[in-house]
Structure 1
């Protein structure tokens, strides 16, 4: 069946694998996507939502580059929210509640409509390696499939072990078997592996809940979209989520099962996600809190299945049930399935290059939870980058690497390979030192030209981005060149308790005041006339407002990024011998030797490497 040699084989069809396969195929590489169950392509194994704080920016970046996650998020959305709207635009983060079944279906339809992409359902049990180069994969049926590069996106399936109370059984997720063989082979090849844990809450029957006792959480009044393309229109109807709380009674009922919890009796030794802890972990760590929020999230338009966000647990099912029935609104709750914890193998990502290619085996790429991350969005972005770089390597082209001041995706990958992670890594806006540059509203301006050059972003995308850029640039120029008289400006300024002007002033200067918004300046006749004459849409208007009001911050951050980026061009020779630099600290020499950074800039970000160590390195390199 498999006589031909594929350019790229992608193992696993979760969020990382789906983006990797789509990217490689769309770039012209003959690609094979192998998964254990074709019915579960891009399945939402945990909560039915995409985006959120920093994660929404990642989805926008994937979309700007020509990936599929933003499009599918729009076609399957049942609610849209722009989070952190009360803060500055660097913090605005889009999030959608998704129809879980439609999300997976839409992903599969997009993949099946992608040229150059083949599918095969089977478990990959090992890699074909010749010397230090990967040449394909072998399946559990003993079939050898040749390839020029391989992308591993195994999620939680590598030796996955599911825990519910004092019971445990092998599985990649509930109802599916674990994948075996790959970890053992990679370790034999010299890779370092570790174990991580994640968990999921019970799913319940929405018909058994009393929503009248809960707090409704509707979507935005004027919802937006994820994708910069006009594939869908913004939602006209939305499904609400709801919020309720645990109580001391609930906590006490849960504590009764702690002696049977694998987290407390020592059967789970691996670390779980710090920022998405289980309910028993929250009760233990925050013993002073007498309640915790629970978000009740519908799984789709028509299903009655509900996700209980905030109640992730591995406690025995009887304890889960008894405690949840004591939550307000859950008095008559019926379970669809209990929550559980899962332990799985991962490989510390310091063993990778910035391309996500492994240092030990040429042509082998890792993406997603195999690298120690958590979250659909983090996985999808790694899959996209691995698929791009695997394709570029096969085509003998220069690799594609995003820097920290270019994208959250760049921050994510740089953090992973430079610092590593010993607990599931989750993206936050605070991890990005250039977050004013890396906003959700300008991901297309930052990345669509790059995606177009790769052959991923279409000409339609590029044209739409250029139009937005040019229209916003002209509108900013209009504010910089147009004056407003005191008699027109002062009534607006007075209504906002802002100091009045005594003579005509440029609109840019007035608009730049912290308490003056676009709605305020639209009261100036010339502004509203300009918007109508040029038929400007909300996207251009919002972009203009940000460019005017935050121009100083943006310029300052760009200047800082430009200064630091100079070190990106100072390359460190491959296999550089750090042991020769005796004036460098022992810790720095060890870290640099293990991670083998490619540039001085990357070396400066490694934990344990001081500014003095970098100075010594620069002197030693003759710089």
Structure 2
């Protein structure tokens, strides 16, 4: 039936699978995407959004590396926000609401326009393995398709089991059947597998909501983009709305606890710590009188609304009653109830840093199969797996990002060296070099590397080099030119700073925390320079960040060196972690349970961040 042996077969068409397919094919591999439903490629199974804290940095890194998620998001978003602007640039994180249907459509169109990509709709029930090497896949229809490498991106489909109250049924997503056969085959070979849980909230009819009882949340006035390329700029946006649960909501939810699979033992597996269900929230945080609920539109031309903050597996009748006790939701019509899903995963300590498995050569795992949660985490793994599958079969050096090069490097290193016993989600606190790993400089960090392996184009590389060359010119301008008190003092005083009393280098004044580069734009000579050198907003912002945070970057590099020298420091066997109140609760719990012997061991414990280790070092006098 198939005309050829493929270079790479990708199993699963979610975010990891789509990126893996695009990467391998764009690098020159003849690639086959096998998925159970071709209409669900790039499906946003949960919330209709991309990005967020740390996740937005990942999407920008994917884009800088030549991946597609940023491009698809820019073409289909309905709202954009840059989060954490009140903090330093290391914390700035882009987030976009997407049109769910358009997002999946755009991914399908993107893949269909890549010459080396073929498609086939079927379930993959097993792998073709000869010796210790994968040589293809077997499908549910009994077909055998041969390839040089295979990338598994099965998401929540491996033996997926859906829970709604006391109802259980097999499925990888609501309305789609589970995938069977792969887990059983791999565990026979010697792979360790486990079970994880995730969940999703109900979807409702937006026409049945009373938005006048909610607070409107608009997008940014000047929306930015994810991609560093010339994607279209967002000119109109849709608002989201926020409301809150109340004591009545909580009482109604508690009435269903005896029928909750979370509490009656039906669900045994671990769910995401940082995205708890609504029943978990009111159980764990009983002292809180209310919780945020967001009404998020699913697209431009649909009335469907995603109820963010109300993830649940309670019985559908309990969901409906509790939901209608929330202001604005009194007459809510439910399109489909929330549900929990349990699925198989493989602890990622069984992988190399390329995401190739240790046991089977040329077999790669990416996405939720590795114990992660989130579209962005999955997409980045898919990209790296697709790249490395192509490089391996062409006998080229592997592509591995270090922790100081990308959030993607932090993500993969955490998975391989620490493993995870709960769905892994990326946070800025997991990255010890986060001042270096900003969303604004992902192109500077990664485009040249991607270009060297044949993914990012020469045109992209030239654009990046030009951007930072022009930003560098502006930095130099501020370093060599001075400013008089009468030219800047009014702006300083307006920003509650102390005025200068003599001429100073512009770079010195801009380094003050209360001063922004825009405060200098009243200077005609600066405007002439900007116009003459054709600097745009992005290049101006980049120059300002380089000037204002130069000292912080240097200090971070010094701290990283100190941490390396102290990594073998021994921890007393009876150390009381619970007295370190500034350390995260998760870290204290994990460290108390595992009792690591050294700082190095502690740093590899899942859920312990670099900042937690810094607190430990400070307490130990280091």
TM-score by length of 1: 0.90
- CA pair 537-288 structure 1, distance change in 2 beyond 3 A: same
Unaligned regions of 5+ residues in structure 1, if any? Answer: 569-584, 586-600, 610-623
The 8 Å contact of residues 136 and 145 in structure 1, kept in 2 or not, is answered as yes
Q: Does 1:353 align with 2:352?
A: yes
- Inter-partner Cα distance in structure 1 for 2:235 and 2:360: 50
Partner of 2:459: 460
What residue number does 2:604 align with? Answer: 606
Aligned residue for 1:353, secondary structure, equals coil
For 2:476, the equivalent position in structure 1 comes to: 477
**In 2 relative to 1, CA 462–43 (structure 1 residues): closer, same or farther, beyond 3 Å?**
same
2:589 counterpart residue number: none
1:498 paired residue number: 497
Aligned twin of 2:176: 176
- Contact residue 367 and residue 377 of structure 2 kept, 8 A: yes
Partner of 1:142: 142
Matches within 5 A, 1:204-603: 204-232=204-232, 234-561=233-560
1:146 counterpart SS class: strand
Deviates more, 1:520-529 or 1:138-147: 520-529
Q: Which residue of 1 aligns with 2:570?
A: none
SS in 2 for 1:80: strand
Q: What is residue 591 of structure 2 aligned with on the other side?
A: none
Look up the match of 2:59: 59
User: Distance in 1 between the 2:20 and 2:67 partners?
Assistant: 9
Distance 1:409 1:189, change over 3 A: same
Residues 1:458 and 1:604: Cα distance change in structure 2 (over 3 Å): farther
CA distance in 2, matches of 1:21, 1:605: 34
- 1:163 and 1:79 map into 2 onto residues whose CA distance is 32
CA contact (8 A) 1:213 1:329 kept: yes
Partner of 1:613: none
Q: Given the two structures, how large is their TM-score scaled by the length of structure 2?
A: 0.91
- Residue 522 of structure 1, CA deviation: 1.8
Does the CA contact (< 8 Å) of 2:312 and 2:340 recur in 1?
yes
For the 8 Å contact 2:472–2:543, the answer to whether it is kept is yes
Paired residue secondary structure (1:360): coil
* Whole-Å separation in 2 of the counterparts to 1:487 and 1:515: 17
Cα RMSD for the two superposed structures: 1.8
* Residue 108 (structure 1) aligns with: 108
Deviates most, 550-559 or 203-212: 550-559
Question: Conserved in 2, the CA contact under 8 Å of 1:166 and 1:261?
Answer: yes
Q: Contact between 1:489 and 1:524, CA under 8 Å: does it hold in 2?
A: no
| d(CA) in 1 for partners of 2:285, 2:427 | 22
Shift of 1:404: 0.4
Shift of 1:604: 8.9
State how far apart, in whole Å, the 1-side matches of 2:605 and 2:283 are.
30
Query: How far apart, CA to CA, are the structure 2 residues paired with 1:132 and 1:287?
Result: 52
| Offset, 1:564 | 7.4
Give the aligned length.
577
CA–CA separation in structure 2 for the residues paired with 1:427 and 1:539: 26
Deviation readout 1:187-245 (Å, 9 max, x if unpaired):
0010000000000000000000000110000000110011000021x211100000000
> Displacement, 1:486?
2.3
Aligned to 1:12: 12
Asked if structure 1 preserves the Cα contact closer than 8 Å seen for 2:432 and 2:560, the reply is: no
Sort the Cα spacing of 1:179 and 1:165 in 2 relative to 1 into closer, same or farther, 3 A: same
Verify the 8 A CA contact 1:296 1:306 in the aligned structure 2: yes
- Structure 1 CA distance for aligned equivalents of residues 512 and 180 of structure 2: 60
> Shift of residue 520 of structure 1?
1.1
Distance 1:603 1:363 in 2: 30
Unaligned runs of 5+ residues in structure 2 are: 568-572, 574-598, 609-622
Q: Is the 8 A contact 1:62 1:69 kept in 2?
A: yes
Residue 565 (structure 1) shift: 8.4
Q: What per-residue deviation string (whole Å, max 9, x for no partner) do you get for residues 375-407 of structure 1?
A: 000000000000000000011000000000000
d(CA) in 2 for partners of 1:606, 1:432: 13
Moved over 6 A (4+): 562-568, 601-604
Q: Which moved more, 1:277-286 or 1:481-490?
A: 481-490
Q: Displacement, 1:494? A: 2.6
